[in-house]
Amino acid sequence: MSTFAKFFRILQFITYKLSICANTGFTAGSVAGFFLELDYSFNNSFHLSSVQEVIIDSLILTGGAWLIILFVLCIIARYTFSSVALPALLNCFLTCYVTTFICNNYSLFPLGWVIGIVVGIVIGSILCKFNLILSKIKI
């Protein structure tokens, strides 16, 4: 049990400085990368061949990551569903798609979890900056 406690302390050290968008991307990337890596370890020669398969796999990963994020944000953190559902879905889709695309094109499935985390943090941070810019524009 102490190993899990140490692991979550390390995660807290990484994620406490990130915005909620980057933490959402971190979670989505972790889920996507973990399942891509897990699928690779079971099949040992996992390679997607077409763009449609990449999109289908990223949509499946998006659904799973979105449900996890909604559970964390709505049930645990007490955000309202209407305030987080659409932004979290966009963040999850972009993160899962880019992670699947990178892992597929460069055959980096064994590093899927790390790639997913990095991609999620980058996409989440970009979306937060974009949201900040849009909120300053008065229409």
Domain containing 72: what range? 24-115
Let me know if 111 is exposed, middle or buried by CB neighbors in 10 A (0-12, 13-18, 19+): middle
**131 found inside a domain:** no
Domain presence at residue 1: no
Euclidean distance between CA atoms 44 and 125, whole angstroms: 33
- What letter would DSSP give residue 111? G
Reported as a single tens digit per residue, the pLDDT across 34-90 is: 999 888 888 776 666 688 988 999 999 999 999 999 999 999 889 999 999 999 999
Cβ within 8 Å of residue 123, ≥6 positions away: 25, 29, 91, 94, 95, 98
Closest CA to 118 of 54, 28, 6: 28
Query: Is 9 domain-assigned?
Result: no
Q: Is residue 139 part of a domain?
A: no
Cβ atoms of 31 and 116 closer than 8 Å: yes
Task: Take residue 112 and report the two structure tokens written for it.
Answer: 């899927």
pTM: 0.86
Domain-located, residue 100: yes
> What is the band of 119 on the pLDDT scale with cuts at 50, 70, 90?
very high
- Phi–psi pair at 40, nearest 5 degrees: -65, -40
The whole-chain average pLDDT of the chain stands at: 87
Domain annotation covers residue 6: no
- Please state the domain count of the chain: 1
Any domain includes 14: no
